[in-house]
Amino acid sequence: MQVYLPIAEISVNALLLLAMGGAVGFLSGLFGVGGGFLLTPFLIMIGVPPAVAVGTQANQLVAASISGVLAHWRRGNVDVRMGLVMLVGGSAGSALGVALFNLLQRLGQIDLVISLLYVGLLGFVGLSMLVESVSALLLPHRAATRHKLHQHSWLHGLPFKMRFHRSRLYISALLPGAVGFFGGILVAVMGIGGGFILVPAMIYLVGMPTALVAGTSLFQIIFTTAATTVMQAATNHTVDVMLAFLLLTGGVVGAQLGTRIMERLRGETMRALLALLVVMVAAKLAVDLVSPPLDRFSIELTQIR
Amino acid sequence: MIDGRRQRRLWRRVAQLIAGFLGANALVVAWLSVCGAQPLVADLSRHLVAITTGFTGAEVVLFGATDGAGDVAVVVTGPRSGVTVRRKNRVAGIWVNTLGLHFDPVPAFYAVATSKPLETFVNPSVLERHQIGLEHLRLEPVEPVARDKAVEFRDALIRNMQRQKLYGSSLGQVAFLGDKLFRTSLLFPANVPTGLYTVGVFLITNGNVVSAQTTPLAVSKIGVSDEIFEFSQRQPLLYGVLAVIGAVFAGWLAGTLLRKS
């Protein structure tokens, strides 16, 4: 069933988009990541202009994160205070990101930067998660004693200390703020929620309890993606509501399923699966970067509107 | 209220269409009165390719008549805009866009149909003048560059357009029914750019164009996709806010509904 996308100005298969949205939503519910890191490359592959893919993704992620966060909220797995601190950083990050996106697009380097970011970030995060979770799976008794209550490092010497009751943490507000800032840039530049960066950063850097991480990162992502959607629509006209609707219809259903499956899986198994997926995507993109392109030349329509 | 507005829009469109059609006919009539004879008449089965939500491409039939012997070439040209062509080079093992050339104007769509292979019946200079055939399409970089580089980038531009099926890679056929009547189908892919197209029909005798006619063809979004597009352009901020509200509602709805099931 073909559907014409009014902003992307191409005709695509609606069922394909629904299925892809569903698959990505499933991952989002399962791992607490937005799944944008899979969806953006996919949309570009089927012919959606990169700018529209990124802008629309942000819109789609609003719905996916809300439906995801509801499930976590009912279980009390959202640290609102932590989320709000991250949001302050996130807003600044996404404003910077939208400006950066425009600059890179003018220079013709946006695709390269997106690919490099994907390979670098996904590769690093995926590999370290894979190593960590596989060793935890193989040696379960060590995993139990892995978490020390007090792991003091220079990070704990930073000023502006705040108490986060829900997470049982007393840390500098700069820490979650910086994590949110970085996530905000990713939302705007890569069209992703940034969950795959936020989740590990919140576990390993901020030191939050794993149970709270998915819900809190989703909570924060709602606001950064909403702000990014409005900014992209207002400045670049790159939000395609038809495309977003198809993706989120599949996405919200998938997200609910994912959340349910999550409850039956062990944390380590989950992380190993996510890590594997992330590493695979990174490897694919890395191969694309170094292998000779089919055509060394590419064209881009200079906007006439 | 909304229905009324929609209806008015529809009528305005129909009026525009009819005006366009009459305009095209008026051109033909004007041509006839100048020439006295009727060397070439052609028209399209329709003057609007409507891109609706279920659009998968379209076929428009061009038919016409000539008053005598000759061959016919049909050139479809889309709306023009600027295009940047970029070349990747290997930098530290990675393929990076290192060189960009701007071309302007570039038709967003270009296709040719002829009754015979072009070179066999037309002077190259004539093809050049009327821009018949991809190799005669005028595409110049905006910045002055070396000749071989301009050619290399021009070829790349055409190759990329062909890959997107926007430039006719092979010449279509104009079929003659008897001596005077001819017809051909113009095919537009699902990704056809919107805008005003021109369909040029050339009658060629003894290697020269003896008669020519230009017919407009509009490719336009119609219905829901048009309304969405117009709204996003005219009220971008409101559009963005509504997009977010819609997403919030959809997410909340799904979260609440699926919880109970």
The 3-class SS string of chain A reads CEEEECCCCEEEEHHHHHHHHHHHHHHHHHHCCCCHHHHHHHHHHCCCCHHHHHHHHHHHHHHHHHHHHHHHHHCCCCCHHHHHHHHHHHHHHHHHHHHHHHHHHHHCCHHHHHHHHHHHHHHHHHHHHHHHHHHHHHCHHHHHCCCCCCCCCHHHHCCCEEEECCCCEEEECHHHHHHHHHHHHHHHHHCCCCHHHHHHHHHHHHCCCHHHHHHHHHHHHHHHHHHHHHHHHHHHCCCCHHHHHHHHHHHHHHHHHHHHHHCCCCHHHHHHHHHHHHHHHHHHHHHHHHCCCCCCEEEEECCCC
pLDDT tens digits, B209-239: 888 999 999 999 888 888 898 899 899 999 9
Residue of A nearest to B222 (CA): A6
Most B-contacting residue of A107, A252, A257, A289 (CB-CB within 10 A), to test interface: A252
Give mean pLDDT, residues A3-31. 84
Predicted local distance difference test score (pLDDT) of residue B27: 53
B232 and A237 in contact by Cβ < 8 A?
yes
- A16 near A207, Cβ under 8 Å? no
Q: Is B97 on the interface with A (CB under 8 A)?
A: yes
B159 and A244 in contact by Cβ < 8 A?
no
B236 and A233 in contact by Cβ < 8 A?
yes
A244 and B248 in contact by Cβ < 8 A?
no
Which residues of chain B make contact with A68, given a CB cutoff of 8 A? 255
Predicted local distance difference test score (pLDDT) of residue A32: 63
Higher pLDDT, A162 or B171: A162
3 state SS of B191: coil
pLDDT higher than threshold 60 for residue A145: no
Residue B87 placed within a domain: yes
B236 and A290 in contact by Cβ < 8 A?
no
Window 105-134 of A: residues touching B by CB (8 A cutoff) are 108-109, 111-112, 116
Most A-contacting residue of B232, B233, B249, B260 (CB-CB within 10 A), to test interface: B232
Which residues of chain B make contact with A245, given a CB cutoff of 8 A? 246, 250
pLDDT band at residue A15, thresholds of 50, 70 and 90? Answer: very high
Which residues of chain B make contact with A292, given a CB cutoff of 8 A? 95
Residue A4 dihedral angles phi and psi, to the nearest 5°: -90, 125
Q: What pairing do the DSSP bridges indicate for beta strands B48-51 and A10-13?
A: unpaired
pLDDT band at residue B2, thresholds of 50, 70 and 90? Answer: very low
Question: Of A122-126, A269-273, B39-43, which has the strongest mean pLDDT?
Answer: B39-43
Q: Which of B51, B163, B247 lies nearest to residue A62, judging by beta carbons?
A: B247
Number of domains in chain B: 1
* Whole-angstrom distance, CA of residue A59 vs CA of residue A192: 10
* Whole-angstrom distance, CA of residue B43 vs CA of residue B64: 6
Of A223-227, A271-275, B107-111, B238-242, the one with minimum mean pLDDT is A271-275
pLDDT over 90, % of chain B = 30
pLDDT higher than threshold 70 for residue B25: no
Q: Is B1 on the interface with A (CB under 8 A)?
A: no
Higher pLDDT, A303 or A63: A63
Window 136-195 of A: residues touching B by CB (8 A cutoff) are none
Q: What is the DSSP letter of B261?
A: -
Window 246-305 of A: residues touching B by CB (8 A cutoff) are 248-249, 252-253, 255-256, 289-290, 292-293, 295-302, 304-305
Residue B8 placed within a domain: no
Q: What is the DSSP letter of B167?
A: B
Most A-contacting residue of B51, B55, B81, B94 (CB-CB within 10 A), to test interface: B94
Considering the entire predicted model, what is its pTM?
Answer: 0.74
pLDDT higher than threshold 50 for residue B189: yes
Predicted local distance difference test score (pLDDT) of residue A11: 84
Q: Which of A4, A248, A292 lies nearest to residue B247, judging by beta carbons?
A: A248
Q: Which of B132, B139, B172, B131 is nearest to B158 (CA)?
A: B139
* Whole-angstrom distance, CA of residue B225 vs CA of residue B101: 33
B57 CB-near residues (< 8 Å, 6+ apart): A11, B187, B188, B189, B190, B192
Q: Which two tokens stand for residue A215?
A: 């819900």
Q: Is B130 on the interface with A (CB under 8 A)?
A: no
Residue B249 placed within a domain: no
**Residue B206 sits in a domain of what CATH number?**
2.60.40.1930
Predicted local distance difference test score (pLDDT) of residue A149: 47
pLDDT higher than threshold 60 for residue B169: no
What are the strands of the beta sheet with B110-114, ordered from one edge? B48-51, B208-221, B195-205, B71-77, B110-114, B172-173
Q: Count A/B contacts: CB-CB distance under 8 Å.
A: 199
Q: Which of B57, B88, B232 lies nearest to residue A293, judging by beta carbons?
A: B88
Give mean pLDDT, residues A72-83. 84
pLDDT higher than threshold 80 for residue B132: yes
pLDDT band at residue B200, thresholds of 50, 70 and 90? Answer: very high
pLDDT tens digits, A26-73: 877 777 666 777 788 788 778 888 788 888 988 888 888 887 788 788
Predicted local distance difference test score (pLDDT) of residue B20: 57
pLDDT over 70, % of chain B = 82
* Whole-angstrom distance, CA of residue A66 vs CA of residue A20: 19
Q: Which of A65, A241, A255 lies nearest to residue B243, judging by beta carbons?
A: A241
* Whole-angstrom distance, CA of residue B49 vs CA of residue B56: 11
Predicted local distance difference test score (pLDDT) of residue B243: 93
B84 and A249 in contact by Cβ < 8 A?
no
Higher pLDDT, A289 or A18: A18
Residue B88 placed within a domain: yes
A66 and B251 in contact by Cβ < 8 A?
yes
Question: Of A154-158, B7-11, B170-174, which has the strongest mean pLDDT?
Answer: B170-174
Predicted local distance difference test score (pLDDT) of residue B22: 54
Residue B154 placed within a domain: yes
Predicted local distance difference test score (pLDDT) of residue A288: 83
* Whole-angstrom distance, CA of residue B228 vs CA of residue B211: 42
Neighbouring-strand partners of residue B217: B197
Q: Which two tokens stand for residue A256?
A: 């609910």
Which residues of chain B make contact with A3, given a CB cutoff of 8 A? 53-54
Predicted local distance difference test score (pLDDT) of residue B36: 47
3 state SS of B171: coil
* Whole-angstrom distance, CA of residue A145 vs CA of residue B76: 72
Predicted local distance difference test score (pLDDT) of residue B254: 79
Q: Is A65 on the interface with B (CB under 8 A)?
A: yes
Which residues of chain B make contact with A249, given a CB cutoff of 8 A? 250
Query: Residue B125 sits in which domain range?
Result: 39-221
Residue B96 placed within a domain: yes
Higher pLDDT, A27 or B193: B193
pLDDT band at residue B196, thresholds of 50, 70 and 90? Answer: very high
Most B-contacting residue of A98, A224, A229, A230 (CB-CB within 10 A), to test interface: A230
Q: Is B85 on the interface with A (CB under 8 A)?
A: yes
B250 and A7 in contact by Cβ < 8 A?
no
Q: Which of A59, A74, A292 lies nearest to residue B247, judging by beta carbons?
A: A59
Give mean pLDDT, residues B184-201. 90
Which residues of chain A make contact with B56, given a CB cutoff of 8 A? 2, 11
Residue A165 dihedral angles phi and psi, to the nearest 5°: -60, -45
Q: What is the DSSP letter of B179?
A: T
Q: What is the mean pLDDT of chain A?
A: 80
Predicted local distance difference test score (pLDDT) of residue B171: 57
ipTM > 0.85, yes or no: no
Q: Is A224 on the interface with B (CB under 8 A)?
A: no
